[in-house]
Amino acid sequence: MFVVLIAGTALAARYVWVASEGTELRSSPKGGSQIVGKLKLDERLSVQDKSGRWYKVKNDSGRSGWVYRGKISSTKPERDASQGAPGLFGSLDSDIESGRASTDRAIRGLSPEAEAYAKSTGTPESYQKALDSVMERKITRDDVREFLQHGKIGEYAQ
């Protein structure tokens, strides 16, 4: 379980870990600043400096930049990866590994088990169509970034 990073604790902790999907390193402590790198989930970072809700960090490969506090944890996340999951944005993610896209829901349709379940229980087709429309809605990483920017939320707060 994560421990939320409360202001002031990270420098003492020295190391922090990437706790959010799609965490980006920026050139300065502002949401609108240049992206200088992308960080992997659970990656270890050493803390160099702090400014407001931003931490200057360096990863083990020597890349450094600023990261928003909500994206990191002061303890190493303990979790099992979701075996076979295509990631938060599925095949719509430009960072996706090509092999993982094969399990994307938008490509493969309803699971055979759910289809068999619907048939076996006499579920009306309208419910299957409703579920299809829910599962096929396309939201990209850029869409979410724009949503947060527009609402001035989190790293985009001023």
Partner 1 sequence: MNRRKAITLLAGTMAGLTAAPAFAQGNLFDALSKGLTKEGSKERKTLEGIGTILRGAQGLDYESELALGESLALEGFQRYGMPVDDEHVQRFVNLMGKAVAANSTRPDIPYHFVVVQSPLMNAFSCPGGIVFLSSALVKALKTEAQLAAILSHEVGHVAAKHAVETIQQAQLLQGVTQITTANMDNEEGKKFKKAVSGMKETLFDTGLSHQMEFEADRLSMQTAYRTGYSPKAMYEVLEILQKHQSGATVKGSWYGTHPPLKQRLAKLQIELEKYPDWKELRTSTGRLGWYQKRIK
Chain positions contacting partner 1, by CB under 8 A: 1-2, 4, 6-7, 19-22, 41, 70-71, 77, 79-90, 103-105, 110-121, 123-124, 126-128, 130-131, 133-135, 137, 139, 143-144, 147-148, 150-157
CB of 113 to partner 1, least distance (A): 4
Neighbours of 139 (CB within 10 A): 12
For partner 1, which is the closer residue by CB, 11 or 139?
A: 139
Nearer to partner 1, 61 or 126 (CB): 126
Q: How far is the CB of 34 from partner 1 (least distance, A)?
A: 20
Q: Mapping DSSP to helix (H, G, I), strand (E, B) and coil, where does residue 41 land?
A: coil
Q: Which is nearer to partner 1, 50 or 105 (CB)?
A: 105
Where in the chain does DSSP place strands (E)?
A: 15-18, 24-26, 35-38, 44-51, 54-59, 64-68, 72-73
Closest approach, Cβ 15 to partner 1, in A, equals: 17
Q: How far is the CB of 128 from partner 1 (least distance, A)?
A: 7
Distance in angstroms (rounded) separating the CA atoms of residues 18 and 73:
6
The phi and psi torsions of 83 (rounded to 5 degrees) equal -55, 125
Nearest to 55 by CA among 1, 22, 9: 9
Side-chain-facing half-sphere of 35: CA atoms under 13 Å: 8
Query: By C-beta, is 2 or 15 nearer to partner 1?
Result: 2
Q: Which is nearer to partner 1, 27 or 140 (CB)?
A: 140
